[in-house]
């Protein structure tokens, strides 16, 4: 049975679910930083998804990217599968601005995480719930 | 008309073409580091691809990932769209090993590039040509 990697569980807040993926918010207010985790067991790489899940993942990643683009007006989106430290397949979707504290470097390992106030999390959750529409079930 | 970003052209070697993308090799022998660039004008983000191109991109990225997995046995693949510095849409596919010089950090900005000898480039090109099969036209 699928269960979220303990390190991911510790570092993030569950915002809700799409058909395939959990949508997590990295608890780091330095950047609007979201993570999609397909609820499938024992996956480490994108190319290990079945053909059906792969298409579903593409749909959810595109939906999230367009929602972030509309709602948060990034200068650039950074989308990445790394997994060098946390092996469970998870895909970063990070909203980047030219004035964010790591710009133009990638965000990983740059700054200590700056946890959100709970009101900020609620606000982001409401925004995503509105932007993602019927495909999304808030947690 | 599509033309490759001058910075990408300077940092990489063209290995060949798939139906949608150019396949580039980053000229940095620290890691086997490949880049897919869809031959479409004025794109910055994955979600700007048309629906047809998006599916084609998924197919080519999956084909490349499986080829790298088979031919170079990564400990982990790192796949990323950043584009904070080079705006033209390009997608990194990086073969990572636990003994590579940046492990477990992401590779960007870690070490100066270490250019390949031309014989090493030929060898990688031959390997990819074999692994990617009929979908790939070597340069």
B95-124 confidence digits (pLDDT tens): 999 999 999 999 999 999 999 999 999 999
What local confidence, expressed as pLDDT, does residue B112 receive?
97
How far is the C-alpha of B55 from the C-alpha of B61, rounded, in Å? 10
B76 CB within 8 Å of a chain A CB: yes
List chain A residues with CB under 8 Å of B108.
105-106
Pull the structure tokens for residue B30. 């620290």
| Percent of chain A predicted with pLDDT > 70 | 100
Q: What is the pLDDT of residue B116?
A: 98
Q: What is the pLDDT of residue A128?
A: 97
- Taking the C-alpha atoms of residue B101 and residue B113, their distance in angstroms, rounded to an integer, is 12
Could you read off the pLDDT of A27-40 as tens digits, one per residue?
A: 999 999 999 999 99
pLDDT per position as a tens digit, A87-127: 999 999 999 999 999 999 999 999 999 999 999 999 999 99
Which residue's entry shows tokens 């709602």?
A71
Side-chain half-sphere of B104: how many Cα atoms within 13 Å? 9
Q: What is the DSSP string of B99-111?
A: TSTTTTS-STTTS
pLDDT of residue B67: 98
The closest CB to that of A46, out of B55, B65, B109, belongs to B65
What pLDDT, on a 0 to 100 scale, did the predictor assign at position A5?
98
Using CA atoms, how far apart are residues A83 and A75, in angstroms rounded to an integer?
25
**pLDDT tier, A68 (very low <50, low <70, confident <90, very high otherwise):** very high
The secondary structure of residue A92, as a DSSP letter, is: E
* Contact indicator for A49, A40 with CB cutoff of 8 Å: yes
Q: Are A46 and A81 in contact (CB under 8 A)?
A: yes
Q: Which of B58, B85, B103 is opposite residue A84, by nearest beta carbon?
A: B103
Interval A1-21 mean pLDDT:
97
Q: How many residues does chain B have?
A: 139
Q: Residue with structure tokens 């080829």?
A: B67
CA dihedral for A97, A58, A83, A32, sign (positive or negative): positive
Q: Say whether residue B7 is in contact with chain A using an 8 A CB cutoff.
A: no
- The Cα–Cα gap between B81 and A82 comes to 11
Sign of the Cα torsion B77, B78, B81, B83 reads negative
**Residues B76, A44: C-beta atoms closer than 8 Å:** yes
Residues of chain B with pLDDT under 70: none
Check if the interface score ipTM surpasses 0.90. Answer: yes
Q: Inspect the interface and report whether the beta carbons of B106 and A83 lie closer than 8 Å.
A: no
Task: Tell me which residue has tokens 């895909």.
Answer: A91
B51 touches chain A (CB under 8 A): no
As a whole number of angstroms, the distance between CA A97 and CA A26 comes to: 17
Residue ranges of domains in chain A, CATH in brackets? 6-138 (3.30.428.10)
């Amino acid at each position: 049975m699928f269960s979220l990697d303990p390190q991911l569980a510790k570092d993030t807040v569950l915002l809700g679910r799409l058909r395939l993926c959990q949508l997590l918010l990295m608890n780091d207010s330095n950047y609007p930083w979201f993570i999609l985790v397909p609820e499938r067991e024992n996956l480490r790489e994108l190319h290990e998804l079945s053909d059906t899940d792969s298409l579903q993942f593409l749909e959810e990643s595109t939906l999230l990217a367009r929602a972030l683009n509309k709602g948060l007006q990034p200068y650039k989106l950074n989308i990445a599968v790394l997994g060098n430290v946390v092996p469970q397949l998870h895909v970063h979707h990070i909203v980047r601005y030219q004035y964010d504290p790591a710009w133009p470097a990638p965000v990983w390992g740059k700054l200590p995480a700056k946890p959100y106030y709970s009101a900020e999390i609620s606000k982001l959750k409401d925004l995503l719930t509105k932007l993602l529409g019927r495909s999304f079930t808030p947690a």
